[in-house]
Structure 1
Amino acid sequence: MDMKLEVVVIPVSDVDKAKDFYVEKLGFRLDADFPIDDGYRIVQVTPPGSACSVIFGDGVTHAPAGSARGLHLIVSDVEQAGAELAGRGVDVSGPFHDVTGAFHHAGEAGRVPGLHPERASYGSFASFADPDGNDWILQEITERAPGR
């Protein structure tokens, strides 16, 4: 049986501010904005090229605004993606890799400035946050691991 990740729900405090950030600054496609009733609004956006969407709004999660961590956007060139987002007004970290050379530690622990020394696929990252502090990671993947 196939199982596909379709939607990730993120907690925000100001739906319109989040909508502006994701659509105008990040360039996500606006799929839906349903103001169902007072206290219940659903906004769905999708990153360019992604099959998985992001939902935020009013009454869609009990999680505190800004508490999402480790959301990954996969890019083919982390420097180019970071520069493009910075050009749109997003505060993006410089590229980094993990001290272990593998997947990054939580938060900023183990971060080494610069691209992975061999520019290994899966090994270089950059980060940014939305207006509420939801934490996003750009991960450079140039060659998929077998079976992916």
Structure 2
Amino acid sequence: MAMTTRVLSVSVPVADQDAALTFYTEVLGCELRTNVQVWQGTRLVEVVPPGSSAGLVLLPLDSEIPVAIRLGTPDAQQAHDAIRRAGVALHNQELIRMEGAPAMFSFTNPDGNGLVFLENTDHHGPA
């Protein structure tokens, strides 16, 4: 079984989420998938090109949500254990579990790029 099953989304750092949302939807023709307040002061905005399952998460430069590539995995705990065994520095020593979101964890690839694994669910968004 493959540890990585799909690309869910890629973060795009933006100075202004509303201006970016307007650009990606009205200029580029993307569709709004998610626009929610994750917690006080932290908003998650995701757009998706028509027909695509991978989204673009428009994150403010100072967001607490990591700028990362979000990947699907069938078993987040198994992926977490495998990443740890490979000697990769994990940002989360245990899985993050939030109500309404799949189990997830984040880490950095050898080049310093952020990655997040989210356990596959029927939801195609970044969670």
Q: Which has the higher strand share?
A: 2
Q: TM-score, normalised by structure 2?
A: 0.44
Q: TM-score, normalised by structure 1?
A: 0.38
Greater gyration radius: 1
Q: Which has the higher contact order (CA 8 A, sep 6+)?
A: 2
